[in-house]
Each structure stands twice: as structure tokens, then as C-alpha cells.
Structure 1
Amino acid sequence: MHDEPWFSNEQLATILKALPDPAFILTRSGRYAAIFGGSDSRYYHDGSVLIGKWISDVLSDEKTAWFMQEIGKALESRNLHVVEYGLSGQDVRGLPPGGPSSVIWFEGRVQALAFQVQGEDAVLWVASNITVRNDYEVRLRIQSETDPLTGLFNRRKLMEALSDQYEMFTRYGTPMSLLMFDIDDFKRVNDEYGHLNGDRAIQVAAEVCRSEFRSTDIPARFGGDEFVILMPHTDLAQAVPIAGRLRLRIAEALRLTGDLGEGATISGGLSQLLPMDVSCHEVLKRADDALYQAKRAGRNCIISQ
């Protein structure tokens, strides 16, 4: 005696339709063979119009190539294949005006089916909208890498970037210069004008760094009133006039704040990666030594080493 099926075909169809996330049956050649679920109207629209279309009818060439590649991986491994991907308005063909203005992020869980669909291998692709989670993770990452007072990279992120630059130098010989500077007599600035104005001086220096350096350069607050700037693809000879111009720009900006009397100046140490360096810390130490030389030389100057 056989057990009776728990659900009728109609009930199973109702259950599949009620799935919160959409589940796509995609063939190896890239055709939407079937779609189930997607009932969570907060995130999904009716996708039934996709059935019978090709992925290339719906998505840009670049995204189509990516989807086809991931389908192929899932069919090859026969194991659950999990991917994260974003879709923007530019990725989807034929969107009406007023479509999404930002990237929508998904987690795709892709599993090869044990049978063929429409005469070819196929996968089940369940797409879950993870935009909220992704945005939260991005905010956490930014907070972990950013100095809250200035908005520049913090020391931890700087050291990661410096390590990456050192690896590029040792592998390809790509030059990089490093500038370390701080605000002269910063303790006096705090004592005479107050800690709020001291914070403002640090913020002004950071603003000048953002405006003066290229998008490929990496300015960071190293700690207190101390800053470090990484200048990739820049040797020492090229970095010297850049650092000199920065010194003048920051002094002028601090003077114009009107909150620091005659204003304030900076002193800096400048160095570059060298073939004999055994770690990224050596260029940092040379710049630090040069900074102290600038202090002993009377401040308001940049010394190279």
C-alpha cells in the first residue's frame, strides 16, 4: 500500500508561488524555462514575463556573460553554488523611466538539476534581495577604515594600503613616495585656542589634502595631528614639489580660518620605497626620521630622506 501524496498538484503550485524569493529555472543556453515564487512584493515584481526569454534579452552583454559563466560553474560542480551580485538600471534592458537609481544586490543560490529541461541541462537559481544587508556591511566597512574627525583613511587602512604598495614595488618596481607631516606646535594650538580649534585645524589640513592630491593618492590621519600621504607611481623627485605645495596650501588655509591667531604651519618628512627595503615599515620610518629632522631644522619645512 502506497502513501497518498500530501499535496495535490494545485496545492504544490500554490506553495511554489508563495515562495518569498524568486526561483528561476535557467537552461545551459541561457533561457528562462520557468519562474516560481517572488511573492515578497517589497523587493520583487511579477517575473512571469521572463519565461521563454533569453538572459541576453533581459540583461546587458556583460551581465549576460557573467550569468552564463556562473550557470556553467554550477553545472560543472553539481554542488550548491552561492554568488553575490549587483544589478543596476544600466544592467537591465528596456527599463522604463523611474527605475532603480542605485544598485540592487542579490545572493544567488544555484543548484544543478538532476534532469534536463527542454532538452538541455538546467539549474535552479534562487535570488534573494540582500541590498539592506549589503548597505549595512558597506557602512560598517567604511566606519572601520575611516577616521571620524577628518573622513580620511585611518591608520589601520593606511597600513593595508602601504603593504599593497610595497608588494607592487617589489613585484613590478612601481615607485611610491610617502609624506608624513604634522602641525607645528600643536600642543600650543590646543592650549591657546582650545581643543575645538585644534580639531578644526586637523580638519582643515585634511580638507587641503583631499583637494590637493590625486584620486589615486592615499591620504590618512595617522594619529593625533599626524598625517601620512601615499603617492603611488611617484618617485622622490616628483614628490618634492608636491609636498612643498601642500605645506604652503595648508599654512594658508589655517591662516584663513581666523581661529588660530597668525595661523599654524606644518613640518614633514618625505621618502620613497627603495630596493633594499625588506618591509613596508622602512619607508615609514625614514619619513618619520625626516619629520623629526624638519622639527630640529626650525619647523615649517619638508625634508627628504
Structure 2
Amino acid sequence: MRVGFAVFPGFQMMSLAAGSVFEFANICSGEAIYELATVSEQGGLVRSSTGMDVATRPLAGEAFDTLLVGGGVGVPCPSEGLTAWIATCLPAVRRLGGICTGAFVLAEAGQLDGRRATTHWLVAHELRSRFPAVRVEEDRIFIVDGPVWTSAGMTAGVDLALAMVEKDLGREIAQSVARKLVMYHRRAGGQTQHSELLELAPRSDRVQSALNFARRNLQAELSVEQLAEAAALSPRQFSRVFRAETGQSPAKAVEQLRVEAARLMLEQTRHPVEIVARETGFADPERMRRAFLRAFGQPPQVLRRAARSAA
């Protein structure tokens, strides 16, 4: 299966990281299932946003099973030639994908009209505004709508590629690839782009260790004393350092982690709300409902129905 990566001047190098997924799929399967090629409108050297040049083949005459269009640091402005070629590549290719802001190239070519799509959350509003025919869902890692795949920010392109490998070769190969790439796991397409650990962004390893401990032990009570012990600080010192680094109390941070975990369980499993509340440390559904209202302005059941409807 030939996988093409279409680039343009100023493309972001991280777009090509998804190529490693297909490379290691060949290694894990023991045979050359995927053949990779980098293409551009004219071929030759194409300069990335980092200033590094990448050798490419011209689009004309190339045939692919899967074509992925990379993104740029900002919203890309594809050439007329590239746009025209993307506009006609379906159904000649089995899968067409846009990584990060590569979704704008697909939208410009009309390939996202009437389809669900995602992109980097920073520019999702612009995608929606410029292309009203596209059903933009900015809070998704990747979205598959028929033969068209789109992903969120750059690293999400790796998740998208892993999902393609899983679709082609099965879960076992995909998991083996993820392990070799030192990925914890492939994020599900419906998973939110945002992570509470990223939002908290502690500066010190000690506070980070306490947050990691909390995330691994959400079912526990998670008192300040427990978190302070994980951080190797006294409770008083821990509370002071934690607030200074994250801007909030340990209790509020733990609630955010529980809300994030509960939302993922609601979106990705069929567990009853009672079990989700217990597994994520809320103890009872009412406490979880109040936390969801504070975080999202909606109760858990509404978010679950929205996720199922999207699926």
C-alpha cells in the first residue's frame, strides 16, 4: 500500500512523523506492507517551516492507497495546482487525510463539504468560519468520515496513522508499533484534545509526581497528606508550592483530573454513570454531576449522548 505525504512550502516537519508509524508497521509485521513517498506540486526540494529542505516527487503521475496532507505552523495557503489535485484524488485513493491544519487544504479542495472534520483547536473557529459546509468538531483527536480522515494538532497525526494501521493490520500490530514508538497508547479519535495535566502545567518534578500519583489513584480519597507524600514535601509546603505553580488548590486539581477521566469513560464505554462515578473517585453520581456542571455546564448524560451521536 503506497502512502503519500503531500507537502507545500512552509509545511511543518512534524507532519511527517506519522510516516514512522507505517515504517514500524512494516518492521512489526515482518514485511514491506507500506511504501512511503513525499510529494509536492512540482517535486524537488521543499522548504519546511524549520528551514529544512525535504526531497519530494511531483504529484503528476503518482498513485496512492492513502494520501496525507501535512499542516503548517499557521493556516496554510495551498497553491491552485495542489488544491485542484486534492479535489480530484477521490476515489482514486482509498483514504485521504489532513494532519492538523492540513484540514484547510482538504476543505479548500471541497473534500470536507458535508463531512465531520477536526483540526488544531487554535484554528478550528477559522475553519468553521471559512468553510461553513464543514461540520467542524474541534475537541477531537481525529475524525473518520467515510474515506476522509482529519486530525488535531501535529502529534495527533501519529494517533491517526496508528488507527489506520489498526484498521489495516489489526490491533496487535498497532499496539506493537505504539510500544516501539514509546507511546503509552493510541488515543481514541473521540478523545478530547485537551488534558488537565497540560492545563495545570506544573514547573517542578515534585508537583508533577503528585499529579501523576493522583491520576493513577483516582479511586482513593487523595488527601493533601497523600499528595504531599508523593511529592516528598510537608502538607503545608506542598499546598503552598502547588498553588504557586498551578494557580489552584490540590483539591480543585484532583477534581479536574477526575472529571477528565470520567468524561473519557462516558465517551468510550457503556458503563453506567454509577460505575463511572465510583471508578473515578466521585463516590456517587450526584457529586460527579455537580463537578460536570462546574466544568462543562452540562451533566454527564448530555455529554455521553453527544459523544454517541457523533460516533
Please confirm whether the aligned pair reaches a TM-score higher than 0.5, indicating the same fold: no
Name the one with the larger strand percent: 1
TM class, shorter-length: under 0.3
TM (norm. structure 2) is 0.25
Name the one with the larger helix percent: 2
TM (norm. structure 1) is 0.25
Structure of larger gyration radius: 1
